[in-house]
Structure 1
Amino acid sequence: MLVLSNARLFLENLLKYGILVDANTSGFSIHKGPYNMPAACLVIVSNVFIVAALYTERRLSVGCFSERVGLLVHSINLSVTLCFPVAIVLMVKSMTPGTAVCVLISLQM
């Protein structure tokens, strides 16, 4: 019953107001250049954290790092992995809530 009432409300709003999402301001527009796509750049930069974890694991397997240093490096990497995208989403004014949610969900998977 709840789904049907919300679907009816959704259809009424769609018929009354139309689609109000502008694709050019969504954060994924390509035609403005790479620096005007903060969401895409954030997804690309997320690979740095993956490479840092891989490098740390390789150094640990060889014996260059002690277990404590490895734990410290992994803790810092995990903290930055969780806080960096959130800080970028909050600081960049051109990122809309829809793209911010999509990016943050894709980065945490």
Structure 2
Amino acid sequence: MSTHPRTPTVENEPLEDRLYTVKYDDPGESHLDVKVPDVCAQCETDDCVEVCPANVWREGDDGVPHIAYENCLECSSCRFACTYDNVVWTYPETGAGVTYKYG
């Protein structure tokens, strides 16, 4: 007889389906940017791209990430992941931004 509790089976919806439950009121301009593009061009790890759960930061051909701010979940992981402190991250102005449907 096993002394370990049985691990429950949990099925979650795919990330893409869960992202559709998030409403984003577009303020019309990005609340995300990079401070110095040349710093990004020299970065070899692309931590801002790797850590983003919503695919907001995308690797650019010139080494500077492309930013799809409309997908942002406002978790601010990108600014903490950047080892160069090169991410500009502010809350969207005028009360715009993300609204979560659940929670």
The TM-score normalised by the length of structure 2 is 0.24
Larger Rg: 1
Higher relative contact order (CA 8 A, sep 6+): 2
- Return the structure number with greater strand share: 2
